[in-house]
Amino acid sequence: MKKVQLLFVAVCLAGSVNAQIADSAKRKVELQGAVNFRDLGGYATKDGHHVKWGKVYRSADMSKLTDQDMAVLAERKITYDVDLRGTEESKKAPDRLNPNTDYILCPAGSDNVGNMMQSFKGKTRGDSVMEAYYSNTTYLADRYKPFFGKLLTMPEDKSLVFHCTAGKDRTGIGAALLLYSLGVPYETIMKDYEASNYYRAAENEKMAKQMVQYMQINEGVAKDVVAVKKEYLDATFAAIKKQYGSVDNYLKTQVGLTDKDIRELKARFLD
């Protein structure tokens, strides 16, 4: 088992997430009850600025946070929580929140996740289903509008976390759109996205085994589902460009970000 884990880490190190892993000591927030909880700070933009550290965090499920974890969130002034899960997901595993946390649920497009899992049965490859999921832009605007709304209005001395269940798909797309709006190059955005494979290595292995054992899903398909791949996020951006001409036009016409909003985001979250 240790050899497998070491091999997995070695593959990640050899791939395109070197920068993510190199600064993981600063980026990763060590929590007992949550995985893939990390700071979106430090990324360079095309014009030489950097995303501020300690302002926006991404995570997986936050229902199992310990008292010690809650103290860490309080110390980092994380008082805004944007939950990208579906209604049933959030009911079954409600976020553990510090007092006076501004919490918002953004369930658009997430209430059929269970049906999606059933669609993997009998398949020998999961990539096609995952790419189809990532290519569906129907719910993206309704899901991420409130997210950007909170970013634009939260007090400057506070911080925000956004998350879903695994912290890789819905959260990954949200992180990508935010970093894009700040002017971070797509190559860097992809590195942040792919880094979930590193931060979730142990969890992914466990989840894949459970899918094989309890849902009778093909092992290869299970590994596709729990992972993130460049092709997946590429599918989202390709679909947006095909339907709306550009990501900039999508953010403007669908998410509702004006030129003033983009300037405000950059003023708030870039150094």
User: Could you tell me the residue ranges of all domains in the chain?
Assistant: 2-269
Mean pLDDT score, 9-35: 69
Q: For residue 216, what pLDDT band results from cuts at 50, 70 and 90?
A: confident
In the predicted model, is pLDDT for residue 123 greater than 90? no
Model confidence pLDDT, tens digit, residues 104-117: 999 998 876 656 66
Distance CA 147, CA 34 (A): 21
- Average per-residue pLDDT in the chain? 90
Mean pLDDT score, 257-270: 98
Distance CA 30, CA 89 (A): 24
Q: Give the pLDDT confidence score for residue 21 in this predicted structure.
A: 64
Mean pLDDT score, 198-210: 93
The dihedrals phi and psi of 116, each to the nearest 5 degrees, come to: -65, -40
Can you name the CATH fold of 2-269? Protein-Tyrosine Phosphatase; Chain A (3.90.190)
In the predicted model, is pLDDT for residue 8 greater than 60? no
Q: For residue 221, what pLDDT band results from cuts at 50, 70 and 90?
A: confident
Taking alpha carbons only, the member of 61, 46, 45, 51 closest to residue 27 is: 51
In the predicted model, is pLDDT for residue 214 greater than 90? no
| 54, 26 Cβ separation under 8 angstroms | no
Model confidence pLDDT, tens digit, residues 44-84: 999 999 999 999 999 999 999 999 999 999 999 999 999 99
* DSSP string covering 6-53: HHHHHHHHHTTTHHHHHTHHHHB---SS-SS-EE-TTPBPTTS-BBPT
pLDDT: which is higher, 220 or 86: 86
Give residue for tokens 């953010």: 251
Model confidence pLDDT, tens digit, residues 152-202: 999 999 999 999 999 999 999 999 999 999 999 999 999 999 999 999 999
Mean pLDDT score, 117-135: 76
Q: Give the pLDDT confidence score for residue 5 in this predicted structure.
A: 45
Distance CA 157, CA 135 (A): 36
pLDDT: which is higher, 169 or 224: 169
Taking alpha carbons only, the member of 235, 130, 234, 252 closest to residue 187 is: 234
In the predicted model, is pLDDT for residue 238 greater than 80? yes
